[in-house]
Every structure is written in structure tokens, then in C-alpha cells.
Structure 1
Amino acid sequence: MAQLLTEAEIKKQAKVLSDWTVKDSKLQITRTFKNFIEAIEFVNKLVEPAESAAHHPDIEISYNKVKITLTTHDAGGLTQPDFDVARVISQIN
């Protein structure tokens, strides 16, 4: 199991992730697209990196908005894999 990050480690890593927020031991971002089709196309692009990392985000879709939440459920909070996957997601258009 991945080790929980300290508050200092979380703050340091969160600073370099623009548009992501940390709330309640979760890393979150909401992306807005032109329409539903673009939102779904974006979600489909998340499959390969999530599978490769064996670390899967929680995803909520509401028409043209996609909310992504990362946390390590079995560790009970944020771990390094959460930030690793967030960096990959940040690079996906």
C-alpha cells in the first residue's frame, strides 16, 4: 500500500499543479468542454494512463463538465500515485 503524504508534501506538490485543488484529502479538478462529446472524448483519454498507473480516478460527468477526483482509498488519503496521475491528466487535452 502507498504511504500517505504529509501536509507539507501535499502543499509542495499541489503548488505545481495548476487548476487542481486539495480538499478533504482529495485532489480535484473540473474541466469544461464545448459539449458532451468533447467531455466524453476527454474521459476516454484517461483510460490508458489510469490503467498503466493502476491508479484510477473518480470521475463525474455533467454534460460538458468533467470532475476528476484522486485519492488513495485504501490508504485513506493522498499518496504519491495521486499526484503522479494528476500530472499526467494535466497534460491531456
Structure 2
Amino acid sequence: MCAQLLDPLRATAWWFLDNTDKPTEAVEVARHFRELRELLLPEEPPDPDTVGKLVDELLSSAEPPVRRHLIHTLRRAFTGFERQDLAERLTSLARH
């Protein structure tokens, strides 16, 4: 039964099987099942932090000299770990 309540399509189909004489009410019932699903589903936790998100946050709020230094440091790290492809992409992004 819980699966039917969390799936508005299945819930509406289940309702309609018992109410075939009320097809004009099906749209409204489907809306109610959608609203019910939203109430019953637990809230999704926020996306966890990642290294990339933290660096993005720092770069977006940093003063230009700090931003240039961080980009330079990242470029050196990428190159040092033989990831020239990432260093090039970083250079391309830094221009924007």
C-alpha cells in the first residue's frame, strides 16, 4: 500500500479501478496523490560538500590576487601529477 501512495500513477490507477464510473475525477485524484507523496516522502538531504564545491566557493568569493594564486597552484598540481589535460582546462576556465 505504501508503494502505491508514493507512486501517484499507481495510486490513481488503483483508485480508478474502483471508480470507473468517475473518469472526470481522475485528474483531481491524481493531483491529491501527488500532494500526498510530497507530504510522505522524507526530505532529501542537501548535496554533500565535495572538494570541487569548496574550491568553487573559495574562487567565487576571493579577491583577484587570491584567485590567481589558487589557480596557479592548482595548475602546478595538475601538471605535477601529469594531468596536463586538467591544467589546460583550468587555464581555459580561468579566462572566463
Query: Is the structural similarity TM-score above 0.5?
Result: no
More RCO (CA 8 Å, sep 6+)? 1
- Structure having the larger proportion of residues in helix: 2
Q: Which has the larger radius of gyration?
A: 2
Q: What TM-score does the superposition give when structure 2 sets the normalisation length?
A: 0.31
- Structure having the larger proportion of residues in strand: 1
